[in-house]
Structure 1
């Protein structure tokens, strides 16, 4: 039997043809959408990369511009890194090795005092205590008598600055810029008429760190000192106190008091500042400041937080305020232009310490 081939039987079913056509169309649409979408995404990504590159270039350009503009005038031709942003008060030779042992531990705190030759013995006792505690000592000579200190065995270890008839605040503004004293953890800015028989700098700093005091002062021995402000008097049974209490008369002070002289306050006689506090206080000092009158009331702004907690008086390490007339003395013990001191124990008096009481500056200051 012979089977004849029927061409019509080789053609697919019309339903199958319709299905395959639909499938092809759908696949074409999917592929088209994929390629079109991919091209769009690639274009957008490329545009974003371009924008990021432009922003990065602009930022770098601004940084380079600022970096160039912030260079000290005249240092543009110097190699990068030769100009330092900060410095310190260490004495170094122009050539050769440093006079100090490079392996020795650097001093972490600074004592700065405005001194006159008449208080040489008192200052000698102060400086010996601080040098034995690894302090850097800086003396501001307001009488110009630098050479008369050369016979002291520590004289070469101290930094001497001489400008006639200026107060410690005038000196501090010009010679204790925060960038210069940035390596020191604490700055002691003291008067020269202080007795330190019952004071140990290392123990004092240990207490200050433990109590979190950004601004502080050692308490005054009430039996031997000229005490102008009750908050500065020593409380024997305490290690530290931060406020003064007065429940009778005017100017009362209680637990709710948060302003000087009840709380958050130290006298300008022997203040101690942390590095952060000093960076703030330095900017508060006027360029032409002679006395520190009124500055003590404003120190709370530099307490790095709550002044009633971060400002205090250390009782366990105390000093004696001798109340000696210093800057402005003439004709022996006669003080010119000196205002009358406040009554002892007057809580409303905000007078400066004895070394800041007079204004008898020379018209022309001489720097040696």
Structure 2
């Protein structure tokens, strides 16, 4: 009887145990699915965040702006003037920049140059090396020009400090000119059109060979030519021909009226030495900033040519060259005073010292270039024969 009762009890418990087991199995399946889905969801979130982090790391952010939200970063600037109040005038941004060293005694020459550059297409910046600024107000364009005044500094000193590539990156071409240039046969708009068509990254207007002070024959104007990129003349020891690969035969401009593309100027700016004032030596290395083949990307524009007067304007305030009549008058006023050096002798002495400094800086630059090439193991000279 007892065995029968136990068997009967087990039979009654069996459905309950079976039901409990089914509930356990089904519940475990749901828990496993939820767990897997949870793991999968978290894995997706982690992968998404990692991808986002990787994308953010690959995005370029200007140095110093890493802590700022991307949308607030203004990475470019320009030289446009802004009104102090009222609505901003909607006008087309100027595309190019004319920057010049300027002394007040050459104001007529500077005025003629500036008037050759359209006010709607060029920003004008004057580097005043003689301290005179207000005297330029007689010219209408002076009101919208950028004036920077530091006494007895060259245009290269000014350019290194005030034409940083990030500041002038808004401009397609930078004209970095001297003041002693005749521009009767020059048109800036046509010039820009030509260098764009020719693909010139670094250029200059040709020099009138009959009236200009010409230091390098390569820059002399060639008749019936639009642009030339090389000369075939004998220059010192160099016999220039079709096989010439570098200065002074090709890939070269002088430094009185160079014109740089945006990219070429970024490179050139870095080559200007901060502690050297005159920029001597840079002209022979400009090929490294030509954005490619210097024999093709550097050229002289013959159809838009200029006159280089070669006036010695630095070396002292008395040294800004004036017309011969004024010099003769100054000489006669002091001819009886034997105890004081005349302004002309002071001028000669000042120019002599400036000349010595330019040659000294040339040797310094050449020495630095040689050492830089020697010590940079990763640098490859693309122009080495």
TM-score higher than 0.5 here?
Answer: yes
Gaps of 5+ in 1: 1-41, 343-349, 353-368
CA-to-partner distance for each residue in 1:238-294, whole Å, 9 max, x for gaps? 110111113586221111111111100000110000111111111111222301110
Match of 1:95 among 85, 109, 112: 85
**C-alpha distance in 1 between matches for 2:198 and 2:123:** 24
Q: How many residues align?
A: 297
Give the 3 Å change call, closer, same or farther, for CA 45–252 of structure 1 in structure 2.
Answer: farther
Q: 1:86 aligns with which of 65, 70, 76?
A: 76
Distance 1:245 1:124 in 2: 36
Cα distance change of structure 1 residues 257 and 133 upon mapping to structure 2, 3 Å threshold: farther
Q: Which of the numbers 130, 133, 141 marks the counterpart of 1:143?
A: 130
Q: CA deviation at 1:330?
A: 4.5
Q: 1:329·1:336 contact (CA, 8 Å) conserved in 2?
A: no
- Say whether residues 1:177 and 2:177 are aligned partners: no
Tell me, what secondary structure is at the counterpart of 1:148? helix
Greater shift, 333-342 or 266-275, is seen at 333-342
Q: Does 1:338 align with 2:351?
A: yes
What displacement does 1:212 show?
0.6
State the Cα RMSD in Å: 3.3
1:67 to 1:208, Cα distance in 2 relative to 1, 3 A = closer
Change (3 A) 1:308 1:61: closer
Select the residue among 42, 52, 56 that pairs with 2:51: 56
* Counterpart mapping for 1:128-139 below 5 A: 128-132=115-119, 134-139=121-126
Displacement of 1:195: 0.4
Name 2:144's counterpart in structure 1. 157
In the alignment, what sits opposite 1:355? Answer: none
Aligned counterpart, 2:101: 114
Q: 1:106 to 1:164 in 2, by over 3 A?
A: same
**Is there any run of 5+ residues in structure 2 with no aligned partner, and where?**
1-36, 322-346, 362-385
Deviation per residue, 1:16-42 (Å, 9 max, x gap):
xxxxxxxxxxxxxxxxxxxxxxxxxx9
Whole-Å separation in 1 of the counterparts to 2:85 and 2:294: 46
Q: CA deviation at 1:207?
A: 0.8
Number of the residue aligned with 2:266:
279
Match of 1:71 in 2: 65
Partner of 1:242: 229
Residues 240 and 80 (structure 1), Cα distance of their counterparts in 2 relative to 1, 3 Å cut: closer
- How far did residue 68 of structure 1 move? 10
> In the alignment, what sits opposite 1:268?
255
- Give the structure with the larger helix fraction: 2
Structure 1 CA distance for aligned equivalents of residues 137 and 179 of structure 2: 18
The CA deviation at 1:237 is 1.4
The secondary structure found in structure 1 opposite 2:97 is: strand
Contact 1:325 1:335 in 2 (8 A): no
Post-superposition shift, 1:131? 3.3
In 2, distance between residues paired with 1:185 and 1:130?
Answer: 15
Cα distance in 2 for partners of 1:260, 1:135 equals 30
- Higher mean alpha-carbon deviation, 112-121 vs 240-249, is at 240-249
C-alpha displacement of 1:55? 3.3
Distance 1:57 1:213 in 2: 42
| Partner in structure 1 of residue 209 of structure 2 | 222
> Which residue, 270, 295, 303 being the options, matches 2:290?
303
* Distance in 2 of aligned mates of 1:229 and 1:138: 28
Q: Which secondary structure does the structure 1 equivalent of 2:81 belong to?
A: coil
- More contact order relative to length (CA 8 Å, sep ≥ 6): 1
SS at match of 1:235: coil
Note if contact 1:131-1:137 (Cα within 8 Å) is conserved in structure 2: no
Partners of 1:124 and 1:244 lie apart in 2 by 32
TM-superposition CA deviations, 1:69-108 (whole Å, max 9, x none): 7328xx96xx86444111100111333234xx41x32211
Provide closer, same or farther for how the CA distance between residues 133 and 198 of structure 1 changes in structure 2, counting only shifts above 3 A.
Answer: farther
